[in-house]
A and B are shown apart, each in its own frame.
Chain A
Amino acid sequence: MFAVENGLQGDPRLKVISDAIRVIPHFPKTGIMFQDITTLLLDPVAFKHVIDIFVDRYKHMHISLVAGVEARGFIFGPPIALAIGAKFVPLRKPGKLPGRVISEEYELEYGSDRLEISVEAVKYDERALIIDDLVATGGTLSASINLLERAGAEVVECACVVGVPKFKEGQCKLKGKPLYVLVEPSQFDELAL
């Protein structure tokens, strides 16, 4: 579900957030309009709006674990975790996490990739939130859900700053889990370059 359909209609913060995201055409390859959140991070007001909206939503949901997908999930996850009193668990590319890990493979357009989680990070039945900057195909988030569930957690929701419109009402679940998105992809503004 998008924030605007779920209690935040008319909230001026959503436009501030959307306007702060830069679009880079044809990155990493032709045809992709890349949603660059680094410009949002340069705007402390906009960045704080993102965190405030997520914290307001999750602080009373008894979430004890916030998992963030490497690497941009590492930027949004920890401030949320700190504010709601949850632990932060990084979901990482292969070989980065020490100790005992479990890993989950997922499909890319060409080939596949893997995500790992530290086995000791999760307590059985813990209520978890998964964060990434953007959801497009849902492949990475689906793999993340699998990892958290295999480790014993209950995934309460997945949350992203940006999401493609197909995740609006009616299409808003990933592997049966709700997906909460703040804004749609920003449009490329030729005049801005």
Chain B
Amino acid sequence: MQTIIISSPLVSHRLSLALPVPRSPLINYHHGAPPSIRLSSHRFTNSLRLFSSAAAASRDSEMATEDVQDPRIAKIAASIRVIPDFPKPGIMFQDITTLLLDTEAFKDTIALFVDRYKGKDISVVAGVEARGFIFGPPIALAIGAKFVPMRKPKKLPGKVISEEYSLEYGTDKIEMHVGAVEPGERAIIIDDLIATGGTLAAAIRLLERVGVKIVECACVIELPELKGKEKLGETPLFVLVSSA
């Protein structure tokens, strides 16, 4: 699989990566290995991979991605701003608001998800509050699915079911309206980022409790060091950008 390593300086900025033309001096061509691009390394790196872990079931293996990296991915990754020490010291915050300012990158992000999920008999796109509300609805509209918001407690006005999940200190809850989904429906769950996987795992449990099959969880960004994928159990994860 082609890997592009991008490095970013210490302060928050926008990564810009110009994909080189073939045979650029920046590219290492190792015999037999796919070409890779190395920029000078700084303390923080964003490595870009089109990443998917497909489950073994034959239906899910239709969803496996190809090995070649889609050229739109680099532009999407470059549009994400990394803010150190937000919301607290030690956290490198992946800020997707800059992606939303880049009309091409935002359009490409949605297109990549839509291409993957259209025609797969998915009738539910569930989006986790609040940034999942930004990416979920355009996908839902494009594939003809309903959009189901999954919210913090006491926001939804009607009868809800809720699922508790652990935080570093204490717990939180995620809620969904009763009757929003029906048993047997096929769903994807969208959020901007997967970190520890706690929220997404709770969303999966909530939907499974009412008999929905979660085809995949989809995020723009993954923080692989936090091993969120492991919390998702049997549910596959699809991300556009993996940030080391």
Contacts and interface: CB of A to CB of B under 8 A. Distances in A.
B103 to A, nearest CB: 6
B110 A71 contact: no
Contacts, number: 110
A99 B149 contact: no
Contacts of B156: 38
Main secondary structure of the interface of A (DSSP, over half): mixed
B107 interface: yes
B97 interface: yes
B149 A88 contact: no
B148 A41 contact: yes
Main secondary structure of the interface of B (DSSP, over half): mixed
Contact of A121 (B12, B101, B147, B151): B101
A28 interface: yes
Interface string A79-109: 1011001111110100111110000000000
Interface of B: 12, 81, 83, 86-87, 93, 95, 97-98, 100-103, 106-107, 110, 129-131, 133-135, 137-138, 140-141, 144-149, 151, 154-158, 177, 180
A72 B144 CA distance: 20
Contacts of A79: 137-138, 141
B133 A43 contact: no
Interface string A4-46: 0000000000000000001010011000001010100111100
Contact of B100 (A36, A71, A90, A92): A90
Nearest to B104: A85
Contacts of B86: 98-99
Given A71-B133, A75-B149, A89 B158 contact: no
Contact of A98 (B93, B110, B146, B180): B93
B87 A95 contact: yes
A88 B107 CA distance: 11
